[in-house]
């Protein structure tokens, strides 16, 4: 019985924080968009874990939230109006979750184009906040 | 004290399966390569969870391990000699892990080219086996 109680206690402890994960992650994504549109790339950096990794198509991995903020600052010279749609959030233990979604944005310049794609983010709980820990995307949806 | 014992028991229970995850995931990747090189796409499908999602650049998400096996069968008409290098495996709770790695492959045809890129896989423990649950990659490394 004590063993069963332990198992139940572990399961409850593990699943309780999962409640509301999708809403919390969508709220973090809304902040990401707000920061991007304001040009607040330190704000964007603050949404990633300190040791996060981003995987921009066509170039090298970017390690660390400060470098990731700089990456988005450079990207914002070429693209704008980002939109994110969360399709699925799967809890992975008490302090991690996997998000699947789609994105759209517009290229800047004389001949602007719509770009659409899909992404996978692994989120980690950092104190009370969900933060992006890996962020990878590619075109096509 | 009982509370402390519970916390310790939960932590031990959660971290114990993490031991050896990287080696097990590298072994699954070696099987992936072996199946691909043999043209055994049912074998490749068996390495993914039933509800896995793959994210091929330039086209739509592919849902389910059977469809993912078919996707790789089609891909094998155009590319070969895949290689995978695991850079990091991070345990996410008792039955999930996030892998970061790089890949290379060669295009087929009269003017074969080397293609290199990077990937993120979320692995899930399915019975005694680690299986790919999300598999996303893009070019550049």
A76 phi and psi angles, rounded to 5 deg: -65, -15
Mean pLDDT of A105-115: 94
Cα(B125)–Cα(B92) distance, integer angstroms = 11
CA distances A79 to A2, A136, B27, B82, B140, Å, are 57, 17, 40, 33, 19
Q: Would the pLDDT of A78 be above 50?
A: yes
Q: Would the pLDDT of A61 be above 90?
A: yes
Residue in chain B lying closest to A11 (CA): B10
* Distance in Å, alpha carbon of B122 to nearest chain A alpha carbon: 8
Q: Would the pLDDT of B120 be above 70?
A: yes
The share of chain B scoring above pLDDT 70, in percent, equals 87
Confidence of residue A42 (pLDDT cuts 50, 70, 90): very high
Do residues A135 and A68 lie in contact, with contact meaning Cβ atoms separated by under 8 Å?
yes
pLDDT tens by residue, B67-86: 999 999 999 999 999 999 99
The region that residue B127 occupies, defined by phi over 0 for left and psi between -120 and 50 for alpha, beta otherwise, is left
pLDDT tens by residue, A23-40: 999 999 999 999 999 999
Which residue in B5, B15, B55 has the most chain A C-beta atoms within 10 A of its own C-beta, making it the best mutation to test that interface? B55
Tokens of B87: 């850079």
Entry pTM: 0.87
Q: Would the pLDDT of B36 be above 70?
A: yes
Q: What is the crossing angle of helices A2-15 and B2-15, to 10°?
A: 70
- Chain centre distance of CA B93: 17
Tokens of A2: 């004590």
Q: Which residues pair with A65 in a beta bridge?
A: none
Tokens of B21: 């995850």
Do residues B39 and B77 lie in contact, with contact meaning Cβ atoms separated by under 8 Å?
no
Q: Which residues of A touch B93 (CB under 8 A)?
A: 14, 92-96
Half-sphere exposure of A65 (CA within 13 A, CB side): 14
């Amino acid at each position: 019985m004590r063993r069963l109680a332990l198992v139940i206690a572990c399961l409850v402890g593990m699943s309780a924080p999962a409640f509301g994960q999708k809403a919390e992650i969508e709220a973090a994504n809304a902040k990401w968009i707000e920061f991007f549109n304001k040009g607040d790339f330190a704000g964007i950096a603050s949404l990633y874990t300190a040791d996060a990794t981003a995987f921009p198509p066509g170039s090298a991995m970017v390690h660390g939230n400060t470098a990731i903020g700089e990456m988005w600052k450079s990207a914002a010279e070429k693209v704008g109006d980002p939109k994110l749609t969360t399709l699925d959030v799967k809890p992975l233990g008490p302090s991690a979750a996997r998000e699947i979604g789609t994105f759209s944005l517009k290229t800047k310049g004389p001949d602007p184009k719509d770009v659409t794609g899909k992404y996978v983010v692994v989120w980690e709980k950092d104190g009370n906040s969900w933060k992006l820990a890996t962020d990878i995307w590619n075109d096509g949806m």
